Structure 1
Amino acid sequence: MTVETGPQKHEFQTEVRHLLQLMIHSLYSNKEIFLRELISNASDACDKLRFAAIADASLLGSDELAVQLIPDADAGTLTIKDNGIGMSHDDVIDNLGTIARSGTRKFMESLSGDQKKDSQLIGQFGVGFYSAFIVADKVTVRTKRADAEAVSWESDGQGEFTIEPSDKTDRGTEVVLHLRDDDKEFLEPMRLSALVRKYSDHISLPIKLANDKGEIETINQARAFWARPKSELKDEDYKQFYEQLTHDYTAPLAYAHHKVEGTIEYTSLLYIPARAPFDLWDREQSRGVQLYVKRVFIMDKAAELLPPYLRFVRGVVDTPDLPLNVSREILQGNRTVEKIKNALVKRVLDLLDDMAANRPDDYATFWQTFGPVLKEGLVEDQANQARIAKLCRFHSTASPDKADVGLEAYVARMPAEQDGIYYLTADTLAAARNSPHLEGFRARNFEVLLLTDRIDEWVVSHLTEFEGKKLESVARASKDLESKIETPEKARLEGEYQDVVERLTKVLGERVEAVRLSSRLTESPSCLVAGEYALSRRLEEMLKRAGEAAPASRPILELNPTHPLVEKLKTVKDDDSFADLGELLFGQAQLAEGGQLDDPSAFVKRLNKLLLGGVPDAGRIIVG
């Protein structure tokens, strides 16, 4: 499009104005990060040009792609110049006046008040350009796309910016920082060189600066980091590259660097982060590692190279075995991609195996952060299900405060008479710990896994056994399970309670599948049990909340024959009083497992009636 001849004034988006105030007034304790962000943007612009040149080689021209730092002590300016893709008039308005996604709000919410830590968040939320105002009281951007007229953008960061035509003739972008008097240190070549080595040494294109003799020299390695031999790299080098790659300044928990040659050739560098990105659970966000073909940047987030349950993995894959014009459509179903993907999955699981075996504290950090995501693999990846199952960690009745119980350790300490892996799903850890379903198992020293992640209901429907041991819910009717906890007194008591069970079955009607005496209760008066093949109550509720049809099922009401309230049922002859007490026992069982009462008001009235002695002697039982 043709740009108007005169300067055009625009106002910043409201979120950008807030961000600028933060940059100018709050994040000044770690000013140097502005250079890291602007060099990263310049590098991205060159990568975009390389990608565009795959389709149109004439865009690239003969000039070497590079970033140049131009300090001018007389003018008090520092220019960061690139010969990358450049921007059109509309690009400038979109990129330098607004923030399209919700990055600003998330960025603001993540601030902790620690200036150094807060300044490290900038790159993660796509707001890096605005860090220029940490050191500059005015910023001028001159830019040109190969297919558009040159544009000049300028702002003092106070709420407005102007756009007008520029006399720039070469493709690319120049960001000119008019430095504040207190920030003239960033005009010193030695200071700039040190910052490039600290933050941007691993960028794979040259970063150039004039030395003391006026000669232009490259001040970074200017070589793809992952292409360098492992023998010349140190742990600190890998951590610095991770920072540059991810803008995450918390050191990764683990990494793996491999070069594979043979029928398929590729180099991979994979990282396990220590903390989750702010949008880990946002399904709209794209995921994956960076994809390069023959050192040419192709795709920032190639989701096809790793399954969704490994979406937390960051890194780079570079291969000569794909075409330079590869697209997401070509990646899908491509046999080469599938082989690379299978190998990368193995690499990641190997990393996690090693961490779990040799660095349990680091693995505990990983599990706390990404455990629910990795569990998705138990459902999605049948080929690796056994490996993933070994990596899973759970709370249990033996470890109620830490999710540190692995299935191998659980099986190793099972008593001889136990032949299954017992578990209980619940909405919260507190609800699981206090569930009446655990009472009989605790009394017999059977350990029970406590599963509270939302995905656990799907996990146990797909992971049905581990090392030949069947997974069994302690909240489900199962003759095999009940035989492990059944007491000798139960057969005798069933005769005594036959009349009670029949009367209460009539009272509750279609709301229950059956009423019976319980072996699993030692303290609570009642509980609800799912039928052997029915959905659990929690899964039913989750399906309903998701708007999906759940097959109707009725619970089994179990009664503790030794509890005083249940014993009282044997002596209550009045049908209305019996019904009131029976309804209370049913309601208590619903509440104990986190369910909703059918009629809360009626429940409260019955409870008040009981407390006031509406059922002979029952009030004494309840209040002591």
Structure 2
Amino acid sequence: MSETLEFQAEARQLLQLMVHSIYSNKDIFLRELISNASDALDKLRLESLVNKDLSVDTGDLHIALEVDKDQRTLTVRDNGIGMSHEDVVSLIGTIAKSGTAELLRKLRESPEQQQRAELIGQFGVGFYSTFMVADRVTLVTRKAGESQGTRWESAGEGTYEIESLDDAPQGTAVTLHLKAEDSEDRLFDYTAEWKIREIVKKYSDFIAWPIRLDGADTPLNSMKALWARPRSEVADEEYHEFYKHVSHDWTDPFETIHMRGEGTFEYEALLFIPARAPFDLYTRDGKRGVQLYVKRVFIMDDCEALTPRYLRFVKGVVDAHDLSLNISREILQQDRQIQVVQRRLVKKVLSTLREIKDKDQQRYSTFWGEFGRTLKEGLLDDAENREALLDLILLPSTHSQEPTSMREYVERMQEGQSDIYYMTGESRAHVENSPHLEAFLAKGYEVLILTDPVDEVWVEQVTQYDERPLQSVAKGQVDLGAEEIAPERSEGFAPLLAWLGTTLEKDVKEVRLSTRLTTSAACIVGDEHDMTPTLERMYRAMGQEMPHVKRILELNPDHPLVGGLREAHAADASAAGLNETAELLYGIALLSEGGELEDPSRFTRLVAERLARTL
């Protein structure tokens, strides 16, 4: 029996955008269908090798393109793994992906047609591109090892029909009932042999399975594995199309890395660094890893064991010569040879990025803008390559509006400066206006401005660069070569400091005089190994209960407010309003670093009352 079902809401919206939009590059629909067919053949071949109970014929695995000019149809057929009834409903009737809402928003906001087409590829929904050229799409499929097939059909108007079949061949056939207006336009006549040959040659020449047109024995594609060919024999255009095949991105890659490992464990690798960050780069269920082959046999799509998490944006293929065909993901994580390959791949990617950085700073800055925050995660996870990563990071600083490298910072260090100074914060403006920077800026010391959430974490683990300690300007004592506060002056402030320490003991663990302030009355600093307030808030946001860390209140002895408070305390320590003045002084210091007041309404009331007394 045939039943009519509705597309998932997001799928309906996407279909409407596809059907009612005209793209300059409609040809990509065929690339997407051929790519899907190739994946199905890969999966069948692997399943037949590891599942001896599966009775299938793998003697002539191929992709067939069939044209009916009279009916204006184009069929893409494969004899691969096929789909079950449940697969069809879940894979085609819905978009089971995170980020779909984000895709739809970007599609609507993109003014350029080509940008819209690129977004569709980026979000991996290429099957829906068939509705750019077809009024109706019919799919017939049968999963290998099952006796019953499935027929699916839709006009892309929000519903689809699905029914079971008793006589469907193994594999999948997608038939497009082409739009009449396209058939009348020679450039978009997808029943023309020259047009089909042109598309296959341009986009799918590297597919490992033969692509045949209307039963001809001679394939349309060369079927050469790019990674097995010498780099001198491969054109950049071939690399770019292969990248689009494995990544589902519709833009050219930022960089191509072709390498070969020889010795006790041989392998070939073809890796790509994308030109832009994928939409799921920071989602928990985002795909990562490269494709793994063994002796040209496809094993798995996203082999996480071959690349660390901080290089999850790297795409490509690794073809190993000596692994078992039925190796599992769990075994891969422990396989010594795979671990050796991963280390070599990581070093090659990092050295390639270093070469780009040294040769073309502007080009490298473009890469850093897309993937810099991800690369900094490696400072936490990859101690072996930490020095190489430190040489790659670009960080904002007080020296210039342009980001700087750690090496450039060291080269600009003042004579006698031993530490690399930094400050973390929520934004550049917040850091630049912080009282913690006053003395540093006054003396001309450069301070790194770290505003990414990951910065709060990696600076806790990376203690030095080039044998120079990293020092937070908002932690511990600082030595800026300034004259120490005279002992007799410190003694003069001792009663005030002790009184403030007692009055504010709920919030601070110490009150002391500061050498880092020039214009502000006070600031709050942490001990050398204290957790920063920002990091504390991050942990709480993730649901982790953190004990409140008391910090240190530092006072500027040259500020009129501090001097006046000392005199008032010396005259009468129990005078009315002194406690409120102490509370206001602490609140001002807290607000100046972007902190949050425990009781904002009380603070504003005290300020308002003080202002009223001055009128």
Report the TM range for the smaller structure's normalisation: over 0.9
Structure 1 equivalent of residue 226 of structure 2: 225
- Shift of the 59–131 alpha-carbon distance from structure 1 to 2, 3 Å rule, reads farther
- Shift of the 502–10 alpha-carbon distance from structure 1 to 2, 3 Å rule, reads closer
* Partner SS, residue 513 of structure 1: strand
Which structure 1 residue ranges, 5 or more long, are not aligned?
1-5, 614-618
Report which stretch shifted further, 91-100 or 310-319: 91-100
Structure 2 equivalent of residue 250 of structure 1: 251
* Partner SS, residue 509 of structure 1: coil
Instruction: Report 1:527-538 matches (<5 A).
Output: 527-538=523-534
Structure 1 equivalent of residue 186 of structure 2: none
**Fraction of identical pairs, as percent:** 46
Q: Considering only aligned residues, what root-mean-square deviation do their CA atoms show, in Å?
A: 2.0
Aligned-partner Cα distance in 2 for 1:232–1:383: 35
Correspondence 1:198 to 2:183 = no
Aligned-partner Cα distance in 1 for 2:449–2:486: 27
Instruction: Report 1:341-360 matches (<5 A).
Output: 341-360=342-361
Instruction: Report 1:47-126 matches (<5 A).
Output: 47-56=42-51, 59-102=55-98, 104-111=100-107, 112-126=110-124
Q: TM-score, normalised by structure 1?
A: 0.92
Could you report, residue by residue, the CA deviation over 1:476-499 in whole angstroms, capped at 9, with x for unpaired residues? 122xx2x32534565564244333
Aligned AA (2:555): L
Aligned AA (1:192): I
Structure 2 equivalent of residue 406 of structure 1: 405
Aligned AA (2:413): M
Instruction: Report 1:150-549 matches (<5 A).
Output: 150-166=149-165, 168-184=167-183, 185-210=189-214, 215-399=216-400, 401-402=401-402, 404-478=403-477, 481=478, 483-487=479-483, 491=487, 493-549=489-545
Aligned-partner Cα distance in 2 for 1:578–1:208: 90
Instruction: Compute the displacement of 1:142 (Å).
Output: 1.7
Give aligned pairs, total: 602
- 8 Å contact from structure 1 (residues 33, 119) kept in 2: no
Aligned-partner Cα distance in 2 for 1:370–1:167: 50
Structure 2 equivalent of residue 616 of structure 1: none
Aligned AA (2:133): V
Aligned-partner Cα distance in 2 for 1:490–1:72: 96
- 8 Å contact from structure 1 (residues 138, 154) kept in 2: yes
Aligned AA (1:73): K
Q: TM-score, normalised by structure 2?
A: 0.93
- Shift of the 201–106 alpha-carbon distance from structure 1 to 2, 3 Å rule, reads farther
Instruction: Compute the displacement of 1:542 (Å).
Output: 2.3
- 8 Å contact from structure 1 (residues 255, 270) kept in 2: yes
Aligned AA (2:303): A
Instruction: Compute the displacement of 1:549 (Å).
Output: 4.0
Aligned-partner Cα distance in 1 for 2:406–2:316: 30
Structure 1 equivalent of residue 562 of structure 2: 566
Could you report, residue by residue, the CA deviation over 1:86-110 in whole angstroms, capped at 9, with x for unpaired residues? 1222222222322222353232123
Structure 2 equivalent of residue 3 of structure 1: none
* Partner SS, residue 567 of structure 2: coil
Report which stretch shifted further, 372-381 or 569-578: 569-578
Aligned-partner Cα distance in 1 for 2:493–2:152: 86
- 8 Å contact from structure 1 (residues 19, 104) kept in 2: no
Correspondence 1:596 to 2:596 = yes
Could you report, residue by residue, the CA deviation over 1:549-596 in whole angstroms, capped at 9, with x for unpaired residues? 435432111111222222221333462332222221110111111211
- 8 Å contact from structure 2 (residues 354, 392) kept in 1: yes
Report which stretch shifted further, 222-231 or 547-556: 547-556
Correspondence 1:25 to 2:29 = no
Aligned AA (2:497): V
- Shift of the 541–95 alpha-carbon distance from structure 1 to 2, 3 Å rule, reads closer
- 8 Å contact from structure 1 (residues 514, 555) kept in 2: yes
- 8 Å contact from structure 1 (residues 140, 154) kept in 2: yes
Aligned-partner Cα distance in 2 for 1:486–1:577: 35
Report which stretch shifted further, 433-442 or 33-42: 33-42
Q: In structure 2, which of residues 7, 12, 18 is the aligned counterpart of residue 12 of structure 1?
A: 7
- 8 Å contact from structure 2 (residues 124, 248) kept in 1: no
Aligned-partner Cα distance in 1 for 2:167–2:71: 19
Aligned-partner Cα distance in 2 for 1:485–1:137: 77
Structure 1 equivalent of residue 137 of structure 2: 139
Aligned-partner Cα distance in 2 for 1:35–1:394: 43
Instruction: Compute the displacement of 1:288 (Å).
Output: 0.5
* Partner SS, residue 596 of structure 1: coil
- 8 Å contact from structure 1 (residues 121, 247) kept in 2: no
Aligned-partner Cα distance in 1 for 2:486–2:311: 49
- 8 Å contact from structure 1 (residues 440, 485) kept in 2: no
